């Protein structure tokens, strides 16, 4: 498997890679030559990824993980380094959304969104970071959202979690820059994935969403791949703490 920039010899972990954007990005890394560990709770989806990747000549490893759980995340990183001997790239992609008016939002739902999107990013970055700092190189890519950059009614928990991911990205970029580790973020707008299948199934809601996007369409998951390869390859060795927004112009209108 080859890509524009080779990731031969590199080991990547992609969280939330069972489906949607994570799966697409994990495939891109495998095609660029990285050995890819995929982590999420649904083991069957991870196994399907491994099978597809290995059939195409790549190397992949399924790591069932609950990103909100400290022990589970520590086990994930031990399993990956045990299997592949190292880790170079972490893509913090696991995420959930909740769209509930704030006065109706149970604290349990708020906590679940923050735990998955923000605490999960912290736990995985910390566990992988120990290896990256020890080897003096590495790339962390956090998947934020354009909802972190604009107000969105009904999405306070999600927007706050993703704004937290951006602030976390900038702080870690500064903390780890002297160690040769770059930490950047991608902030996608609407991309067609299982996350928003419900929204896309309703023609009126879909039309309303698409009207708000200057490009007048949703993104396709493979449109993130070139940016991910930029942020995981040598091209970004002097780039850290940045947020690449890919949203068809929605957040600059």
Ligand X SMILES: NC(=O)c1ccc[n+]([C@@H]2O[C@H](COP(=O)([O-])OP(=O)(O)OC[C@H]3O[C@@H](n4cnc5c(N)ncnc54)[C@H](OP(=O)(O)O)[C@@H]3O)[C@@H](O)[C@H]2O)c1
Q: Name residue 234's beta-bridge partners.
A: none
The DSSP element (H or E) to which 5 belongs, if any, is none
Active site residue 158: yes
Q: Name residue 189's beta-bridge partners.
A: none
244 within 8 A of 187, measured Cβ to Cβ = yes
Half-sphere CA count of 157, side-chain side, radius 13 A: 23
- 25 touching ligand X, by CB under 6 A: no
Query: Which parts of the chain are beta strand (E)?
Result: 11-15, 35-40, 59-64, 89-92, 138-143, 181-188, 243-246
How far apart CA 26 and CA 17 sit, in angstroms, is 6
Binding mask 192-231 for ligand X (x = CB under 6 A): -xxxx-----------------------------------
Q: Please, which residue, 57 or 211, has the CB nearer to ligand X?
A: 211
Which of 49, 61, 147, 158 is catalytic? The answer is: 158
| Cα–Cα nearest to 145, from 165, 170, 125, 173 | 165
148 within 8 A of 97, measured Cβ to Cβ = no
Q: Please, which residue, 20 or 33, has the CB nearer to ligand X?
A: 20
- 31 touching ligand X, by CB under 6 A: no
Residue choice 191, 227, 229, 231 for contact with ligand X (CB under 6 A): 191
52 within 8 A of 24, measured Cβ to Cβ = no
Least distance between ligand X and beta carbon 160 (Å): 13
How far apart CA 201 and CA 12 sit, in angstroms, is 34
Question: Which part of the chain contacts ligand X (CB under 6 A), choosing from 3-11, 14-22, 123-131, 235-243?
Answer: 14-22
Residue choice 2, 42, 171, 205 for contact with ligand X (CB under 6 A): 42
Q: Please, which residue, 13 or 32, has the CB nearer to ligand X?
A: 13
Q: Please, which residue, 22 or 138, has the CB nearer to ligand X?
A: 22
Residue choice 65, 125, 182, 184 for contact with ligand X (CB under 6 A): 65
Residue choice 84, 176, 190, 227 for contact with ligand X (CB under 6 A): 190
Question: Hey, how many other C-beta atoms are within 10 angstroms of the C-beta on 112?
Answer: 15
> Which residues, 6+ apart, have CB-to-CB distance to 214 below 8 Å?
248, 249, 250, 253
Residue choice 53, 94, 184, 236 for contact with ligand X (CB under 6 A): 94
- 93 touching ligand X, by CB under 6 A: yes
Question: Which part of the chain contacts ligand X (CB under 6 A), choosing from 6-14, 52-60, 89-97, 132-140?
Answer: 89-97
Tokens 């976390």: give the residue.
Answer: 168
List residues binding ligand X (CB under 6 A). Answer: 15-16, 18-22, 40-42, 65-68, 93-96, 116, 143, 145, 188, 190-191, 193-196
Enzyme catalytic residues:
158
């Amino acid at each position: 498997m080859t890509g524009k920039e080779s990731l031969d010899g590199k080991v990547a972990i992609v969280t939330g890679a069972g489906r949607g954007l994570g799966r697409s990005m994990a495939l891109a890394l495998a095609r660029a030559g990285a050995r890819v560990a995929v982590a999420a709770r649904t083991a069957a989806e991870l196994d399907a990824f491994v099978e597809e990747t290995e059939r195409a000549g790549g190397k992949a490893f399924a790591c069932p993980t609950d990103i909100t759980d400290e022990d589970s995340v520590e086990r994930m990183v031990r399993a990956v380094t045990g299997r592949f001997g190292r880790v170079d790239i972490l893509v913090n992609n696991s995420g959930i959304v909740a769209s509930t008016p704030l006065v109706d939002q149970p604290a349990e739902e708020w906590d679940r969104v923050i735990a998955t999107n923000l605490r999960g990013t912290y736990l995985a970055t910390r566990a992988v970071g120990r290896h990256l700092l020890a080897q003096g190189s590495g790339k962390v890519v956090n998947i934020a959202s354009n909802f972190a950059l604009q107000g969105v009614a009904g999405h306070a928990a999600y927007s706050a979690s993703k704004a937290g991911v951006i602030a976390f990205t900038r702080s870690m970029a500064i903390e780890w820059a002297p160690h040769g580790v770059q930490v950047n973020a991608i902030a996608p707008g609407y991309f067609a994935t299982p996350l928003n299948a419900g929204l896309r199934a309703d023609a009126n809601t879909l039309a309303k969403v698409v009207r708000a996007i200057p490009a007048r369409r949703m993104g396709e998951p493979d449109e993130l791949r070139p940016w991910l390869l930029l942020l995981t390859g040598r091209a970004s060795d002097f780039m850290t703490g940045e947020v690449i927004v890919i949203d068809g112009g929605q957040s600059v209108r």
